[in-house]
Amino acid sequence: HNTITIDGQDQMTWVGKFLWLNWAQAKVIDYTQADEESFERLVAQHDGFRHLGALHQRAVEHRENKWTVTDSLHPCKPYVSRVPDSRTQEPTYKTRLHWLIPDWAWEAENGINKKSFIIRLLSPHGWITITFQETSKILLSDQRPQFKVQIIRAGELEYGSGSISPQWGWVSPTYGYKVPALSLALMAEGQIPLTITSEWTFP
């Protein structure tokens, strides 16, 4: 799904092919729309990570040919027992934001710092640019980048490094059938509050 996981855990507990337990509760925080419909913004939140001491909030903003999706993790109680950062003694989180996008030609580059990334997709209507930016409370280490990117297609790693699942990089247009897709994963490790912004610019 096109959302965030924490420490490899989903928002709910998977126990069978079509069965999930511990259902997350969601609510709308804010909705704004300009009179001329040139601007629209929706903010919602769920508590599926409350047992990990975090709330996930997503803001979706639409303006002309641009969509901005802002995923934020905020601390909440009760905190669970976690390995703290050695400098601050506060809990740290391994966050993974996933987007499943069409199997189009693409090109990618790092942004102007270690915490940004740009990918361009050649759609039938022209180039789509997606810019990612991560901000968190503090760097875990000045010696290693916090922001890692993987692009997987049909179970094969096309960009980045690290372990992957052969189930990644596929889409099922109908039950029991799958075709290749691009699985884009953005991984950040740090303390919360933590925010990852995905800015989509369409032709």
pLDDT tens digits along 108-120: 998 766 678 999 9
Question: What are the distances in angstroms from CA 133 to CA 41, 91, 103, 140, 187?
Answer: 19, 22, 23, 17, 11
Candidates 97, 80, 92, 96; CA nearest to 139 is 92
Count the residues in the chain: 203
Question: What are the distances in angstroms from CA 101 to CA 19, 37, 120, 182, 203?
Answer: 25, 27, 11, 5, 16
Q: How far apart are CA 72 and CA 194, in angstroms?
A: 6
Backbone Cα Rg of the chain: 18
Structure tokens at 168: 């990644």
In three-state secondary structure terms, 35 is coil
Burial class of residue 57, CB neighbours in 10 A (0-12, 13-18, 19+)? middle
What's the confidence (pLDDT) of residue 144? 45
What's the confidence (pLDDT) of residue 141? 46
What does pTM read for this prediction?
0.85
In three-state secondary structure terms, 165 is coil
What mean pLDDT is reported for the chain? 86
Candidates 134, 130, 123, 137; CA nearest to 187 is 134
Q: Is the pLDDT of residue 140 over 50?
A: no
Q: What's the total number of domains in the chain? A: 1
Q: How far apart are CA 88 and CA 171, in angstroms?
A: 41
Model pLDDT for residues 9-65, shown as the tens digit of each residue: 888 777 777 777 788 888 999 999 887 767 899 999 999 898 888 999 999 999 989
Q: How far apart are CA 198 and CA 128, in angstroms?
A: 12
| Residue 61 belongs to domain spanning | 4-201
Residue reference for tokens 């509050």: 193
Question: What are the distances in angstroms from CA 10 to CA 13, 94, 123, 147, 184?
Answer: 7, 12, 30, 20, 17
What's the confidence (pLDDT) of residue 27? 94
Residues 6 or more apart in contact with residue 110 via CB below 8 angstroms? 116, 117, 118
